[in-house]
Structure formats: structure tokens, C-alpha cells
Amino acid sequence: MNKPKMASEKGVPSNSSLLTLLDQIERMNGEAMLRDTELARHVTAKILHLIQTQEKSGREIMSKGSSGMEVILASLENCRDVQTTLNILYILTELLSVGRGHRVEVFVSKGGTGILFQILIAASKESPPSMELMLHLHSLLAKVGPKDRRFGMKARLSGALNVTVSLIRQNLQNTKLLLPCLHVLRVYSSNLVNAMSLGKIEGVELMFKIIGPYSKKNTTLLKVALDALGALLKSKTNARRAVDGGYVAVLLSLYQDWHRNDTRCRHILIRKGLLVCLRNITNIKLGRKAFIDADGMRILHNSSTECLPVRTLDPLVNTSSLIMRKCFPKNRLPLPTMKSAFQFQLPHIPAGGPVAQLYSHPPGVDDVVDDSDDNEEAEADTDTENDEDEKDNYMLNDDIETDLNKLYPKRSLCRPFEELKVYERFFLELSEDFQGYTLKGPKSTNSMPLSASPSSLSASARSSRPVTVPTAQTQPPNDIPTPRSQGDCNSTKGHETRPSSSALKLTPSPPVTPLDLDNIHLSKDKDKKEEASSPPDGDKVIEKELVSPFECVSLEEKEDLNADGSERVRREGSPINATRHIQSPLLLGGIPTLRVGSGGSNFGSDCGSEGADEEGGEGAVLEVPDTARLLPLHNPDLYVEMVKETCSVPRYAEVAYPDYFGHVAPTFKEPLLERLYGVQRSKIFQDIERLIHPNDILDKVVYDLDIPNCPLVKDEGESLKFNSQFESGNLRKAIQARKYEYDLVLNADINSNHYHQWFYFEVSGMRVGVTYRFNIINCEKSNSQFNYGMQVLMYSVQEAISGRPCWVRTGTDICYYKNYFARSSIAAGGQKGKSYYTLTFSMSFSHKDDVCYFAYHYPYTFSTLKMHLSKLEDLRTPQIYLRQDVLCETLGGNHCPLLTITAMPESKSSNHIYQFRNRPLIFLSARVHPGETNASWVMKGTLEFLMGTSTLAASLREAYIFKIVPMLNPDGVINGNHRCSLSGEDLNRQWQNPNPELHPTIYHTKSLLQYLAHIQRAPLVFCDYHGHSRKKNVFMYGCSLKETVWQSNISATSSDLQEDLGYRTLPKILSEIAPAFSMASSSFVVERSKESTARVVVWREIGVQRSYTMESTLCGCDQGKYKGFQIGTRELEEMGAQFCVALLRLKRLIGFRNHQHGWDLDNDVIAIPAKTVSSPSTYVMEEDEPSFLEAIDYSAESNDEDAEPENELADEAQENLDQLSD
């Protein structure tokens, strides 16, 4: 080593004693030090004394610009005298013991680690080696090792591993020497290659000679030994070696001993060290098997249960939980197949994709579980549930589109105009001359002269199949129709027919007062005249209405018929206190009906019996709340008629109570549920008890759709009764696990083997004062808002009869976690080792013999939509242009409605007709994903506002022509799917190339937009309403070339990035007026995985700059006035109305733009001060562009919540990005 020259620290006198000594030892380096050993010892001892007694001396050596460290290291490297070497080691120990690690980093940067290894190897060759020297060398190496990233490699290359292991083996009883050696071994083992090398020289077996049973002596030594062993066992090879040596049982025995004797919890770190060793061993399959064979589940479960009351023992409980969950044998879902219980034959099978793979599997292939679902390596172990943020951000950054050619909006109208001309009939308003109209006249002369409408559909029952009304506690009939084929509902396709004589005849309801929508909060008031003079508070009105008397529905057999054979329906009494007499559903095809009286219940038929209940022939009486008074757009009788016309694959013959009665939004806000500490852990422990105490498990099937004719299993005991055989229902199987605990299995989307998330089912036969636990065991998403305050929804029939017909958030001990049911690679897109997730919640019922419904979110069926559209016509005034067309017929034989709403022209003058035809178009769609029911509630708010009588609504109709497809996926909604249509595909991934047979609604909707683009009338705004399952608030996704380029770091010239920023105006307006809307959660980045969604295709191919997806949370809000509350239908409908108001403001801005520069307009009107943003997820605008752009969360579509304070267990990586949003 070259001799460095001394440099004194600035400000330190040159005659400093320390500098003199350092200069002296520098001159002695080399042969002089070997010749004059005593002088070297003397000088190094004096330097040590100065450092020990004068703090200033250490600072002088370590100060910037000083070469003192180089001098000391050079002396150490050249020294051959043991005492002098020890003195220098003492000096280094003193120097490196001060500070927070900076001095160690300097030492490492000067090559100190390599010199220490040289001394260690040289000392090991002495016979015998100096134990004192070895002790201090290892002490110093233990201090330096964690700061040197290449420490492990240096140790391995120098041969230090063998030296340390040999030293430990020879000094097992020498505690003083053993401790620093174990410290160094722990650092060695952090390098996986070193760990494997140490295993080959029996390092694992050596550690088991050191650790032992409970003792109050040498606890520090034991702790370090366990840390070293834990690091060694991260190697699969070493873990197998430990299993082969029978050490799993040894570790469990030691843990039991320490748990039993450490009564004062003073040695938690030792107990945790033993668990870490077990955790690392069980990362391999052999380790998990050895753990089970050694009764490890029972041992850890019992010990952890005893630790639960002591909060300080949570680290032990959490690690034990990880081990037990990992070792819990993967179970098979209790299903014969992962395919849906309902079968629908497609007209043809797609050439590729998941549906093609589904049909390509030969018969008999087990798609529920793989032959071996147990990976050799388990998932990464962490102590938190949500360690996905960095992974998600990385994935999202990779997902950003980087091809500039794909980012430029280019109209791709590949279809010839002759082919698109057939869609001209859907745009009569663009050519209407109104010569045959009497403007300002009666409603009947206003519109809809040519198109079949949902209202006409309601008058033309396409099938007269029987319907049971209502379904509560009704046992399914003995002969349930088997799932039908595609043609079962198509016997009258395209033909308008009169209702058959067997169909239920409805009494026209009283005229419905139009809604007052002058304000944004969709208050439904009773008397418009009274409101005009004295406007009451909307909530108070509804609350007042709730306590009104309710009607009774008498389900009595009507013996007197009209001359034509149809039933006569008679209404008597006042509208409030009347008893409505309607035909008993028993007569509608002989299906047994429910008899309800005074809160009790009887069943019309058991599953195995024949015919109806002996009393059922005379009819039954059911008190029904008069929700028509509270809900102007709801009519139970009309709903039944709509259900008759709805075609479902299972041929549902029942109606759910909530859909029949309707839902009145509660007048109170429902706060986010505060999660109790340890709730997930306690649920997991209850699951583990099933394995430990299998005799306590009933495992009794009480409901099963896979039983063809009798899904409700006959039961003489005290089990709950389940049902999901109604529109939008989803529950495939219910298994009674314990007396008050039920495992529930959801049905897959039809023609699919996954997408299990949406649920809607009925429960009856409950007891009061008993806490029931429900576990939905085959959820697929890796996280859920159920972990962050969201509750399930429940509808109680008893509460409805008592005057509270509404869905309410309910459930306690709610959590969502990975379970022990294996997900086959066939159902997981080829990935092995995946598991399902459990949503668990507890519920105590308030009423005996109640009938309750549970749902993922507020249900909104296709029949509900048809009923609402029919009732919306009653709101039409002579000033409103409303036309309802049938866009197309779906695969399942249902009609997809298309609405046109605008204002009638002021007169028939050519000027007014011209203005009418040239209004900008707004194109809205919703419910492409059936499980996102909140999108339909937002759409309901939009439609009610558009049909309202307020000045704002009138102005909006005069400003635009609205084309609306309120439900893009009727078949999926009807059949209880979560994401797909009957084709088994996500329709919002088919917009690039939709198939007219498999994706008719998307094909024809896109054709409408292509037609508009051809005639130069592309919409001003396109917005697709969606729901979001893993984020809060309402927000938007849009499309921006510039923002995508900035986030992808691709090179582009300024001319490439020219872009009108008008796409940000509408979401910015919403952020100003809508309390639930969050601009910070909105994103305008284009991703590769979203290139076939409606938003991107309409932006890129149709050329609509303002093309959006508006996402509404399923949970609640974390900002604004709704912060801390779960979202309800009132807030969702309000959001739909506020979207309309935002469009009106947008129109005014665009109109004003004709008179001033567009870049400055939005900033002036919105009046947001300019600000400079430094967030890493935000870009800074150029000076000539608007400065009101706020920070953007570009990870918005990850659907992930930030980690919560209490995240107890490890979570799995995020599922495929295409399931997250849009």
C-alpha cells in the first residue's frame, strides 16, 4: 500500500500531539514497523489513549480532508505484531462507535473491510490463533458488515466464511467469542449465495447446537443465533436440510417451551426468532408438510390464542398467522366446475381469448383445482397486507402507451357510409321538419312517431310466462325450468303483440307529479303547487311521507272475468288507505305463492312436495308500503309486467321484494365503518380452527344451484334458507359450516369461469338475537373497499312493511382476506398457486321470521330500468322531445333501449328548425359492467334531471341533443353477472372490433358514433358511466396525448404535443360543483391495456376530445362534504344531476369561446389562481397554457388504497390490470 501523506485539518494546530503520532506511525509503515515492534506498540497505544480521552481527537481523524484513516489502515495492513494489531483494532472500534454510521461508510470507502478480512485469514493460520485478536476482528466486522453492500462477496472470496464457522465450532462454550462470531455469521447469511455455502459446511446444524430450551442465561447469544439461523433458512437448500434433519419438530418444541415459560413476556425477540425460522422453512413444500405432520397448526393456534389478549405480543400472533395461513392445506371449492351454473350456447365461438379456451377444454377436465396447486415457493412474506404500491406503480408506468402513432386521435372510419346509412333512423331529430306536429300541444303529439319504444314494449308482452310475486320465503317450485337455450325467449322477436289473457293486468296508477329539479339534490316532493309557494326541505318531505299509511295488496283469486276472458282488476277506497286487489301469482302458471300475515310466514310448497300450500288456493294477504307515493318512478304492478317481458337464461319466475317494493333512500348518512383492531386475524383463526377441530364443522349444503330441480335443500333443522333465483340474483351455493356460520359461493359469469364479485340473494328463517357469520369464499380481487369502511347492503321486508322500504348498510366484523381455497390455473388465466379471497361479515337480525336480502351494491335490474323509462314518459311535457328506440336485440333476446332527449323547437319556422337540428350532441352510456350498479343510479339521476321541469333542465335540453344508452349490457345485468355479457367477454374490451353477433350492443353503439362522425356531427362529449370497487369518490378518466407523453418519458417535439386542453374543462367544473367528485383522483393518461375501451376508442377513432369514463365509488368519499360517509343512491343520483349542470356550464363556456381566446377562457371563468406544482406526479404547464391544472394522481387506475395503519397480514399481488377500471 502506498504511503499517504498526512494533511492536517484546517484550523487544527500543526503541533497537535495526535498529528505528530500519526506522522510518526506513517513513517514506520513497512519494514520499520516490523523492526521496531515496541515503538509501534507505544505509538498506537498513545493514539488509542488520546482518542479515548479526547473526543476532539476522533473528529480530527475522521474530518473531511484528513488522511488519518488512510494512515491507520495502512499501518494495520503492514503490521505483523499481534499487540500492535490489537491496538489499531481498538482505535478503529473507538472511531466507528461514534456517530450514526457515517464513519463506518468512510471506513468502507477506504477499503477497510478487505483489510480486516486479510488480517482474519492471516490470524487463522497462526497456531494457535489469538482468541483476543479473533474476538476483536469479528466485533469490528459485525459493526462494518451491515454498511458494506459487498460484504458478503468479499467474505466469500477471501475465505472468511470457513474461518468463522470453524471458530464457532471450536468455541461453542466460549460465550464471549461466540457472540461476535454469530453477529458476523448473521451478516454473512444475508447474502443468499453465502447462505448456501454455509449450509454446505453444516452451518445450519451448527446453529441448532447453540439454540436450546428456555433459560435465563445467554439470552442475547440465543437471539443472535436465531437471527443467523433464520437468515440461513431463507435458502431453499438449507430449508430442505433442516426438514431432512427433523428440525421442524425441534423448533416447534422449543417455541412451546419458551412460550410456556416466558410468562412475563421478557423474551419476545427469542420467540419471534423461532417463528421466523419456521416461517422460512415453510416457504418450501416439504417444510409445510413437515410442519403439518409435527402438529404445528395446533401448536401455533393454541399459543397464538393465548397471546391475543396481550397487545405487545402482536408480532408473535402476526407471524404465527402467516405461517398457519401458508401451511393451511389448499382446499377445493365445493363446486363440480368453475363454469357458471347456467349454460348459454353462443351462435359461434370466438377464435381466441378466454371464451375460446373455455370451450377448448375436453370434457371431464377438472377446472376447479390443479393436480398440484402448491407452489414450491410460497408468496413473499411481509408483515403488511398491502405491499403492492411500488409494484402497481411500476406496472402502471409500463402500461402507459408510448407509441405516438397510437396517441394521435385519428378517425378510423373503416366502414363505408352506405353501410352506416341504416343508422339514420336513430337520428330523426337531425332531419325532422315537425310539419306533422302541433308544437306546444298535448303530450301525445310531441314525438316518437316511428320507433318502437320501451313504452310500447311494456304494452307488448313478448312472452306470458308466469311470475311469482313476491318471492320472500317462498320455497322454489317442484318443477323449476331448466336453463334454456338461446331461442327460448325469441318466439315473438320483433313483433308487437297484445298482452295475453293469462298475463297480469295492471290498473293505471294515478298521475305522477313531475320531479322538481331546480336544485341539484334530487328531492321528490309531493305537491308542486305547494312547493311553488313554500318550498319544503326535501329530506323532511320524504321523512314525512315515510310515516304515511301504507296500502295492502290482497293477492286474492279473482273469479269474475271480463267478457274477453281477461281478469277484472278493481280498486276501491282512497289512494292512501286503499287495499289493492290483484290476481294471485298462484294462478299465473300454477306456481305456489307466499302467504304472509301479521309478520308470520308460511311456505306455499316444500321443495319435494307437489302443488301449493293447502291454504294457498284462496290467496294470501301482504301489506305493501305505498312506495309509489314516495317514488314517482316506481310502480310495483308495472315492474311485474316488465319482469314478464325480460328474458333470462335460467328463466326466472320470481320477483325479489326490494325490486317489487322499491327503495327509498334513507334520510340519514351512513358513516364508513370503523375497522376494529384484529378483526381479520380473529376471522383467520376461526378458519384455522376448522382444520384443527374438523368434528365441529357441520358442512351441510342448504342451497345449491347445481341441483337441477331443487336448489333449496329440504331441511328440517334450524338452518337459514337462501334464494337467488330472481333477476340480477347471484348465489350459487350455501353451506352451513357451523350452527350460525355459512360459507357462500358465488356463480361465475355465464360462459366464463371467473369474475366472482357481485352478489344478491335472499335469506330467511333467521332467529332474533343471534349473530350469524357469512363468508363469501370465492372472491377474486386481491383487495377491496370492504377493508376500508364499506359495508354490505341489506333490505328487510319487515322493515319495509313497517314503513322503511330501503337498502341499508349493515354488517360488523367485516374484512376481506386471502383464504385457503385454491384457484385453478384454468380459472386464473394460466397462473398457478393462486387463491381465492373471502369477504366475511357478521349480522344480527332484528325481526323473527324476517326475509332479508343482501347485495354487493344497490341493485338496479333491467326490469327496473324499463319501468323507469316507462314512467319517465309521464314526466314529458309538450316542450320536451323524447324518443325511445330499440337499438338492437341482445344475445339473450332482450331489447337495448336508446333514448333521445332534447327540447322541442320553439316553432315550425325554418330558423327554429335549423337551430333544433344543429344542437351539439351529448352521448351517454352506462352499465357495461353488470356489477357496477352505481352507474345505473347515476344514470337515473341524469335522466330525471333531463326530464325535469326546472329552468336548468329546460336550458340544458335547449342546449344539446342527448343520445343515451342507459344499459349497454342488459343480459349481464339480468343474469347476475359481475363483468361480462352472455358471450363471456368484457364488453368494454371489445370496442376496437366488436362482433355484431357476440357484442351487438357495442357494435351498434359504435356504429351510431361512426355514423355521426361520417356526417360531421361527432358528439361534443362522450361519457361512459362506471363504478369503481377499490377507490373512493367519483372521478374521471380521459385521454390526453400530452399528459401521456409526459408520463411515459418518450421523446417528442413541441409540435407533436400541441393539444387543446378542453378535455379538462368538464371534470374541472364537476370538481367545483359536485361534492363527491375528486379531480385529484382523475387521470388523462392513455394506457395500452385500455386501448379497446369505449373511452379510448371514441377519442382515437371517432375524434371526440372530451371522451370520458366517469367512475363512481362503491364505497364512499374521503374528501368534500361527504368525507367519512358511505355513498348512497341519493348521492349517486345527485351526481347524475350535477353532471347535467356541468354540461350546461360547459355549453356556456363554449359559447363564450367564440368571443375570446379558448386557452384563457376556462381559467377566467373557473377563477382558479395560477400555481406552480412540484409533485412528482404533476407536470408544469408552459406559460401560454392554462395554469389551473392541479396535481394528477397517475396511479388512479390501480384501484389501490394507501396502506392503512392496521394491516395485519401479507397480501397478494394485484390482479390483471384489465379488471381494475374502465
Q: Find residue 886's DSSP bridge partners.
A: 897
Residue 333 Cα distances to 458, 588, 1109, angstroms: 42, 38, 35
Name which residue leads in pLDDT, 48 or 594: 48
Q: What would the pLDDT profile of 865-886 be if each residue is shown by its tens digit?
A: 999 999 999 889 999 999 999 9
Least confident stretch, 20-34, 65-79, 995-1009, 1096-1110: 20-34
Residue 583 pLDDT > 70: no
- Count other C-beta atoms under 10 Å from residue 701's C-beta: 17
CA–CA distance, 327 with 314 (Å, rounded to integer): 20
Q: What would the pLDDT profile of 738-779 be if each residue is shown by its tens digit?
A: 999 999 999 999 999 889 999 999 999 999 999 999 999 999
Give yes or no for a contact between 982 and 649, defined as CB atoms under 8 angstroms apart: yes
Q: What would the pLDDT profile of 220-273 be if each residue is shown by its tens digit?
A: 999 999 999 999 999 999 999 999 999 999 999 999 999 999 999 999 999 999
Least confident stretch, 583-587, 637-641, 940-944: 583-587
pLDDT at site 718: 82
Least confident stretch, 126-140, 207-221, 421-435, 492-506: 492-506
Q: Find residue 1083's DSSP bridge partners.
A: 1037
Q: Find residue 496's DSSP bridge partners.
A: none
In eight-state DSSP terms, residue 1087 is: B
pLDDT at site 1131: 97
Cis peptide before 13 (omega within 30 of 0): no
Q: Kindly give the residue spans of alpha helices, DSSP state H, lying in 902-950.
A: 910-917, 934-946
CA–CA distance, 1066 with 1072 (Å, rounded to integer): 10
In eight-state DSSP terms, residue 811 is: -
Residue 506 neighbours by CB under 8 Å, 6+ apart: 569, 635, 637, 638, 640, 641
φ, ψ dihedrals at 738, nearest 5°: -125, 180
Name which residue leads in pLDDT, 489 or 1175: 489
Average pLDDT value for residue range 895-905: 97
* Cα 153 off chain centre by: 43
Q: Find residue 354's DSSP bridge partners.
A: none
Element housing 733 (H / E) = strand 733-738
Average pLDDT value for residue range 337-355: 88
pLDDT at site 1053: 58
Q: What would the pLDDT profile of 1108-1136 be if each residue is shown by its tens digit?
A: 999 999 999 999 999 999 999 999 999 99
Exposure string for 1198-1222, b = 16+ CB within 10 A, e = fewer = bbbbeeeebbbbbbbebbebbbbbb
Q: What is the side-by-side order of every strand in the sheet holding 579-583?
A: 579-583, 552-556, 620-623
pLDDT at site 405: 63
End-to-end Cα distance, the chain: 65
- Count other C-beta atoms under 10 Å from residue 442's C-beta: 8
Give yes or no for a contact between 516 and 528, defined as CB atoms under 8 angstroms apart: yes
CA angle (1015 as vertex; 1013, 1021 as ends), nearest 5: 40
CA–CA distance, 687 with 691 (Å, rounded to integer): 8
Residue 319 pLDDT > 90: yes
Give yes or no for a contact between 955 and 1053, defined as CB atoms under 8 angstroms apart: no
Hey, is 1034 helix, strand or coil? strand
Average pLDDT value for residue range 78-106: 88
Residue 1104 pLDDT > 80: yes
pLDDT at site 502: 29
pLDDT band at residue 470, thresholds of 50, 70 and 90?
Answer: low
pLDDT at site 99: 75
Region of 596 please: left (phi>0), alpha (psi -120 to 50) or beta.
beta
Residue 5 Cα distances to 12, 25, 39, 70, angstroms: 17, 12, 20, 9
Residue at 886: amino acid letter: V
Residue 963 pLDDT > 50: yes
- Count other C-beta atoms under 10 Å from residue 1169's C-beta: 7
pLDDT at site 516: 37
Residue 549: which of 581, 577, 572 has the closest Cα?
Answer: 577
pLDDT band at residue 927, thresholds of 50, 70 and 90?
Answer: very high
Average pLDDT value for residue range 383-394: 37
Q: How many CA atoms lie within 13 A of 317 on its CB side?
A: 19
Residue 618 grid coordinates: 284462496
Residue 1174 pLDDT > 90: no
- Whether the CA torsion 275, 280, 283, 284 is positive or negative: it is negative
Residue 133: which of 104, 93, 106 has the closest Cα?
Answer: 93
Residue 569 pLDDT > 70: no
pLDDT band at residue 911, thresholds of 50, 70 and 90?
Answer: very high
pLDDT at site 998: 95
Determine the length of the chain: 1222
Residue 944 grid coordinates: 330525471
pLDDT band at residue 92, thresholds of 50, 70 and 90?
Answer: very high
Residue at 577: amino acid letter: N
- Count other C-beta atoms under 10 Å from residue 574's C-beta: 7
pLDDT at site 226: 96
Average pLDDT value for residue range 532-554: 36
CA–CA distance, 472 with 596 (Å, rounded to integer): 9
Residue 75 pLDDT > 60: yes
pLDDT band at residue 624, thresholds of 50, 70 and 90?
Answer: low
pLDDT at site 1214: 39
> Angle, nearest 10°, between helix axes 285-293 and 247-261?
50
Residue 763 grid coordinates: 335469506
Q: What would the pLDDT profile of 609-623 be if each residue is shown by its tens digit?
A: 333 333 333 344 556
Beta strands in 692-732 (DSSP E): 700-704, 721-723
Residue 320 pLDDT > 80: yes
pLDDT at site 714: 73
pLDDT band at residue 497, thresholds of 50, 70 and 90?
Answer: very low
φ, ψ dihedrals at 33, nearest 5°: -70, -35
Q: What would the pLDDT profile of 408-465 be if each residue is shown by its tens digit?
A: 666 556 788 899 999 999 999 998 888 777 665 434 334 443 344 333 333 343 444 5
Residue 563 neighbours by CB under 8 Å, 6+ apart: none
CA–CA distance, 338 with 982 (Å, rounded to integer): 16
Name which residue leads in pLDDT, 444 or 672: 672
Q: What would the pLDDT profile of 1065-1074 be if each residue is shown by its tens digit?
A: 999 999 999 9
CA angle (238 as vertex; 236, 240 as ends), nearest 5: 70
Q: Find residue 284's DSSP bridge partners.
A: 377
Percent of the chain residues topping a pLDDT of 90: 55
Residue 691 pLDDT > 80: yes
φ, ψ dihedrals at 777, nearest 5°: -100, 0
Name which residue leads in pLDDT, 162 or 1209: 162
Residue 311 neighbours by CB under 8 Å, 6+ apart: none
Give yes or no for a contact between 213 and 257, defined as CB atoms under 8 angstroms apart: yes
Residue 1083: which of 1047, 1119, 1056, 1134 has the closest Cα?
Answer: 1047
Largest CA distance in the chain: 133
Query: How many helices (H) does the chain have, and how many strands (E)?
Result: 44, 25
Q: What would the pLDDT profile of 1009-1039 be if each residue is shown by its tens digit?
A: 999 999 999 999 999 999 999 999 999 999 9
Residue 1187 grid coordinates: 395554469
Q: What would the pLDDT profile of 934-960 be if each residue is shown by its tens digit?
A: 999 999 999 999 999 999 999 999 999
Least confident stretch, 47-61, 149-163, 1086-1100, 1108-1122: 47-61
pLDDT at site 527: 38
pLDDT band at residue 407, thresholds of 50, 70 and 90?
Answer: low
Q: What is the chain's mean pLDDT, rounded? A: 78
Q: Which residue has the cell 360462459?
A: 751
Residue 966 neighbours by CB under 8 Å, 6+ apart: 865, 869, 897, 899, 925, 926, 927, 936, 939, 943
Catalytic residue among 385, 780, 985, 1111: 1111
Residue 596 neighbours by CB under 8 Å, 6+ apart: 472, 473, 620, 621, 622, 623
Our answer to whether residue 385 is catalytic in this structure is no
Cis peptide before 470 (omega within 30 of 0): yes
- Whether the CA torsion 1123, 1125, 1127, 1128 is positive or negative: it is negative
In eight-state DSSP terms, residue 1102 is: I
Residue 1062 grid coordinates: 378542453
pLDDT at site 403: 64
CA angle (203 as vertex; 199, 207 as ends), nearest 5: 135
Residue 292: which of 318, 329, 317, 246 has the closest Cα?
Answer: 329
Residue 195 grid coordinates: 447462505
Average pLDDT value for residue range 529-534: 38
Percent of the chain residues topping a pLDDT of 70: 72
Name which residue leads in pLDDT, 726 or 1160: 726
Average pLDDT value for residue range 1159-1168: 38
pLDDT at site 362: 76
